[in-house]
Amino acid sequence: MHINELIEKKKHGEALTEKEIQDWIEAYVQGEVPDYQVSALLMAIYFQGLDDQETYFLTKALLESGDQVDLGEIKKKKVDKHSTGGVGDTISLVLGPLLAARGLAFAKMSGRGLGHTGGTLDKLEAIDGFSVEESKEDFIDQVNRIGLAIVGQTANITPGDKKLYSLRDATETVDQSSLIAASIISKKMAIESDALILDVKMGEGAFMKNLEEAQELAEKLVDLGGKFGRKVMAVISSMEEPLSKAIGNLIEVQEAIKVLQGKGSEDLRDLALSLGAKLLVLTGEEEDEDRARQELLGEITSGHALEKFAAMVKAQGGQLTPEEILEKSLSPKIYTIRAREDGWLEKIHALSLGEGARRLGAGRLSMEDVIDPGAGLYLHKKVGDPVKKGEPILDLYGKNVEDLEDVIQDLEGALAYSKSPVEKPTLIYREVKA
């Protein structure tokens, strides 16, 4: 394969063959093709696109660039979920315990925060002693015992995607639906599961800014998953405002615990119940989604889901009970943004809040940065809520924050008010099935 020929073909909008794509990824992972040529190919793909066949070939090549994790020793039905990334998206910490309580296996390999979006591993590490590193044997044993484990990726999973993703990040070629779909599905197919739900985030705080783009990505994801023989469906959910009222690490873990206690952010609870109910139907455990939802709600009311969360924390070395995690102090509350006027909260710009939390110390600006687990934001109100002038809207937590005035100003700018009632945003716009 000569990469120049691939660039030339794609430049003119011709389709690449399976062998060409396979050779390209193999050579790139081996370091036999330079970044500048792959950059040119990516930009050609960005403008010309990949057809369904090419997207499948790319996914397969990325998947086969690394190891695949066989979870055959897990006897319960294995369910998995993936979100395209958002702000205050604490779903895994609620959904995992719910599904484990219902008797399924939630054996999750999660990631770290990226840009303005949070990462489940960073959140869990806010619990003293919690380890996201486990041997495969311990991981499987834990899932067999309690139905729940959330760890980082240890195996050499999709090195091709890792390399390509960094290059896409540096060449502004991330937001192309075939490239995103291949990247996500290659990673998910590397880990065995009986059913997978993909939560495609749409809105200002997400990669996909409108319904058309989100629909296109959702269809590609479902189509690709199906080609690998996986039971998969997608939902398109809102990321106009943050999902949870809490944004950060410890603060999001605390919010997840509150939801598991039957309190806390309603949107976080509702989306977790919806995704869980859809997964129960997808695996064939339940026939009716409403009934499945009621069952999962029962796992909250009975305290069973919270027990699963506590068991996971203990199994992974965490030294605190859920009650102790709730009592743990956040970083100092350094400012409270109050309502500017009487009326209704009209907008909470998710991207700006994610960025704000990051600048308070909840995320990284470079990969070497150390996170402040106690930093973050807490929203007292969400879009559609009535507000009174002077009422607290957003609390800021952090230590030694640089440019605090600037951060406050940006966060003030992220909130908009209306004199007339505002409708609550839709949580799930659509679902896409095979």
Interacting residues with ligand URA (CB under 6 A): 84-85, 165, 174, 179-180, 183-184
**DSSP annotation string for 191-229:** B--SEEEEEEEESTTSSB-SHHHHHHHHHHHHHHHHHTT
- Residue 168 known to be catalytic: yes
Decide if 183 is catalytic: yes
- Is 161 annotated in the active site? yes
Cβ proximity to ligand URA, 101 vs 217, nearer residue:
217
Tally Cβ neighbours within 10 Å of residue 420: 7
Q: Which is nearer to ligand URA, 115 or 343 (CB)?
A: 115
| From the list ligand URA, Ca ion, none, partner contacted by residue 101 (C-beta under 5 to 8 A by kind) | Ca ion
Q: Which range in 94-102, 174-182, 237-245, 426-434 contacts Ca ion by CB under 5 A?
A: 94-102
Of 62 and 98, the one with the shorter C-beta distance to Ca ion is 98
Instruction: Indicate the residue among 108 and 258 with the shorter CB distance to ligand URA.
Output: 108
Question: Among 85-93, 98-106, 164-172, 173-181, which window interacts with Ca ion (CB under 5 A)?
Answer: 98-106
Beta carbon nearer to Ca ion, 99 or 251: 99
Tally Cβ neighbours within 10 Å of residue 206.
25
Binds 364: which of Ca ion, ligand URA, none (CB < 5-8 Å by kind): none
Stretch that binds Ca ion, among 51-59, 270-278, 300-308, 407-415 (CB under 5 A): 300-308
Contact 240, 425 (CB under 8 A): yes
Told to check if 76 binds Ca ion by CB under 5 A, we report no
Coil, strand or helix at 138: helix
Contact 233, 193 (CB under 8 A): no
- Give the contacts of 369 (CB within 8 A, at least 6 positions apart): none
- Dump the DSSP string for 284-300: TS-S-HHHHHHHHHHHH
User: Which is the catalytic residue, given 81, 187, 269, 381?
Assistant: 187
CB atoms within 10 A of CB 162: 18
Cβ proximity to ligand URA: between 180 and 195 the closer is 180
* Residue 184's binding partner out of ligand URA, Ca ion, none, with CB under 5 to 8 Å set by partner kind: ligand URA
Picked from ligand URA, Ca ion, none, the partner binding residue 174 (CB below 5 to 8 A depending on kind) is: ligand URA
Measured from the CB atom, the residue of 1 and 43 that comes closer to ligand URA is 43
| Known catalytic residue at 116 | no
Considering only residues 132 through 161, tell me which ones interact with Ca ion, judged by CB under 5 A.
Answer: none
300 binds Ca ion (CB under 5 A): no
Q: Which of 271, 270, 425, 409 is nearest to 347 (CA)?
A: 425
The binder of 84, among Ca ion, ligand URA, none, by C-beta within 5 to 8 A per type, is ligand URA
Name which of Ca ion, ligand URA, none residue 304 binds, using a CB cut-off of 5 to 8 Å depending on partner kind. Ca ion
Q: How many residues bind Ca ion (CB under 5 A)?
A: 2
Question: 82, 108, 163, 258: which one is catalytic?
Answer: 82
Closest contact distance (angstroms) between CB of 193 and Ca ion is: 21
d(CA 6, CA 76): 45
Q: Is 304 in the site for Ca ion (CB under 5 A)?
A: yes
- Give the x/- contact pattern for Ca ion in 245-284, rule: CB under 5 A: ----------------------------------------
Strands ordered across the beta sheet of 333-338:
246-248, 376-379, 392-397, 333-338
Report the C-alpha gap between 132 and 289 in whole angstroms. 32
Question: Of the listed 60, 78, 168, 230, which one is catalytic?
Answer: 168
| Nearest CA among 232, 220, 327 for reference residue 278 | 232
| Out of 99, 101, 127, 377, the residue judged to bind Ca ion by CB under 5 A | 101
CA contacts within 13 A on the Cβ side of 115: 15
Active site residue 187: yes
Q: How far apart are CA 132 and CA 110, in angstroms?
A: 9
> Taking CB positions, which residue lies at the least distance from ligand URA?
183
Beta bridge partner(s), residue 238: 202
Strand order in the sheet with 428-432: 148-152, 105-110, 78-83, 195-202, 232-238, 428-432
The residue among 186 and 316 lying less far from ligand URA, judged by its C-beta, is 186
> Nearest Cα to 199, choosing from 222, 182, 229?
222
Residues that bind Ca ion (CB under 5 A): 101, 304
Looking at the annotation, which residues are catalytic? 82, 161, 168, 183, 187
